[in-house]
């Protein structure tokens, strides 16, 4: 019997462990073109919170009573699909469970970049690609730019800081608490702002006296407002996430949004999946940066399938530095 986390009820505001239920499920017989995968690593990500609401979005909502999904790295243990054999390590979306039967078109063998498998859930996976395309494409960040990134100790933010430095930019990161700020500093950030130590606007103004050219937004709310206030002319904002609002039913309010006009700010929201066709470029470039040590992969690892909801909830309590992973 496989075990899989199901959505027991839809969270209102901040999710709790009561919203999740671990259930045993019999796996079906393997059909033609299918493989059975035993998961080794599971990804938990802030965007999954959005899928727990009953709203139309870019990925379908999770259904109450149904298993949750998410990125996972597993080992094929049985195959009825050409080109996939037992022992192959694959990336797929049947996470939040220990074993799954999936169609061959839903799995991808890990690229041969000499990296540990779980890296393909983090710096060499969706989170790394989010940082890469968000910074360099969506925000058009260029050498010499002053880049501000929020949640800079997080999975995406920690890669943004390192990428910015590797590409000759000034990197300013925000994080909550002295420990995380120290971590962001260790990544090479030029300035670090502790958003728990006072108003983000005041502290960012001190850290970025010349303003910011690029804002990589993972947070929204006060961080985004501070970036409006301090944007230089023709600043570009890549809007990747707004975690401050995911569990907050109140509308976000902005004192400085009007600066969009005077400073000619460009904001653009993006979804990493839109860059699917450029993943070869990403693997090549990021593979080199990781191999050379220019970009390091920080991970926070939780052990055991039974702790998956805790790991997920920890994202909103700010418990991770770098990529949050569950190891089975």
Tell me the window of 1-9, 25-33, 165-173, 262-270 that interacts with a copy of itself (CB under 8 A).
262-270
Residue 14 interacts with a copy of itself (CB under 8 A)? no
Residue 232 interacts with a copy of itself (CB under 8 A)? no
Nearest one of 165, 166, 155, 167 to 131, comparing CA atoms: 155
Q: Indicate the SS3 state at residue 328.
A: coil
Residue 253 interacts with a copy of itself (CB under 8 A)? yes
Residue 173 interacts with a copy of itself (CB under 8 A)? no
Q: Note the residue count of the chain.
A: 328
Q: Which is nearer to a copy of itself, 20 or 47 (CB)?
A: 47
Tell me the window of 2-10, 157-165, 183-191, 235-243 that interacts with a copy of itself (CB under 8 A).
235-243
Which of 77, 197, 258, 291 is the binder for a copy of itself (CB under 8 A)? 258
Q: Which is nearer to a copy of itself, 28 or 251 (CB)?
A: 251
Q: Which is nearer to a copy of itself, 156 or 187 (CB)?
A: 156
Residue 260 interacts with a copy of itself (CB under 8 A)? yes
> Would you say 271 and 243 are in contact if contact means Cβ atoms under 8 Å apart?
no
CB of 287 vs a copy of itself, minimal distance in Å: 27
Residue 316 interacts with a copy of itself (CB under 8 A)? no
> Would you say 147 and 166 are in contact if contact means Cβ atoms under 8 Å apart?
no
> Would you say 283 and 111 are in contact if contact means Cβ atoms under 8 Å apart?
yes
Residue 324 interacts with a copy of itself (CB under 8 A)? no
Strand partners, 172: 148, 191
Residue 254 interacts with a copy of itself (CB under 8 A)? yes
Q: Which is nearer to a copy of itself, 252 or 279 (CB)?
A: 252
Which CA distances in Å does 188 have to 3, 170, 241, 315?
41, 10, 23, 23
Which of 44, 265, 295, 315 is the binder for a copy of itself (CB under 8 A)? 265
Our CA angle for 48, 164, 317, nearest 5°, is 35
Q: Which is nearer to a copy of itself, 92 or 259 (CB)?
A: 259
Which of 1, 14, 64, 271 is the binder for a copy of itself (CB under 8 A)? 271
Residue 202 interacts with a copy of itself (CB under 8 A)? no
Q: Indicate the SS3 state at residue 36.
A: strand
Residue 270 interacts with a copy of itself (CB under 8 A)? yes
Query: How many C-beta neighbours within 10 Å does residue 245 have?
Result: 15
Q: Which is nearer to a copy of itself, 90 or 244 (CB)?
A: 244
> How many residues at the interface with a copy of itself, by CB under 8 A?
31
CB of 219 vs a copy of itself, minimal distance in Å: 12
To the nearest 10 degrees (0 to 180), the angle between helices 200-207 and 221-230 is: 40
Q: At CB < 8 A and 24+ separation, what contacts does 269-275 make?
A: 269/239, 269/240, 270/133, 270/134, 270/138, 270/238, 270/239, 270/240, 271/58, 272/126, 272/129, 272/130, 272/133, 272/134, 273/58, 275/129, 275/133, 275/137
Q: Using CA atoms, how far apart are residues 281 and 39, in angstroms rounded to an integer?
A: 27
Q: Which residues bind a copy of itself (CB under 8 A)?
A: 50, 57-58, 220, 225, 239-242, 245, 251-255, 257-271, 274
């Amino acid at each position: 019997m496989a075990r899989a986390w199901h959505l027991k009820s839809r969270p209102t505001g901040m999710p709790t462990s009561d919203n999740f239920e671990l259930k045993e499920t019999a796996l079906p017989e393997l059909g033609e073109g299918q493989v059975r995968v035993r998961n080794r690593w599971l990804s938990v990500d802030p965007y999954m919170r959005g899928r727990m609401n009953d709203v139309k979005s870019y990925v379908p909502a999770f259904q109450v009573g149904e298993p949750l999904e998410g990125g996972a790295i597993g080992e094929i243990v049985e195959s009825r699909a050409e080109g996939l054999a037992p022992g192959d390590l694959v990336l797929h979306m049947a996470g939040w469970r220990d074993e799954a039967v999936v169609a061959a078109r839903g799995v991808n063998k890990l690229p041969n970049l000499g990296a540990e498998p779980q890296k393909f859930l983090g710096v060499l996976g969706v989170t790394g690609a989010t940082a890469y395309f968000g910074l360099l494409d969506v925000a058009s960040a260029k050498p010499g730019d002053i880049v501000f990134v929020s949640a800079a100790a997080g999975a995406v933010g920690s890669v943004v800081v390192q990428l910015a430095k590797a590409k000759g930019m000034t990197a300013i990161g925000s994080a909550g608490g002295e420990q995380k700020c120290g971590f962001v500093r260790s990544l090479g950030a030029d300035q670090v702002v502790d958003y728990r130590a006072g108003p983000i606007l005041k502290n960012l103004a001190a850290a970025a006296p010349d303003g910011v050219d690029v804002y990589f937004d993972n947070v929204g709310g006060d961080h985004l407002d501070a970036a409006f206030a301090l944007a230089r002319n023709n600043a570009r904002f890549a809007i990747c996430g707004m975690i401050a609002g995911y569990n907050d039913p109140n509308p976000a309010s902005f004192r400085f949004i009007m600066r969009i006009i005077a400073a000619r700010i460009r904001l653009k929201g993006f979804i990493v999946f839109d860059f699917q066709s450029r993943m070869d470029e990403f693997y090549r470039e990021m593979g080199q940066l990781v191999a050379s040590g220019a970009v390091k992969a920080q991970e926070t690892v939780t052990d055991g399938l039974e702790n998956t909801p805790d790991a997920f909830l920890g994202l909103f309590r700010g418990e991770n530095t770098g990529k949050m992973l569950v190891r089975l």
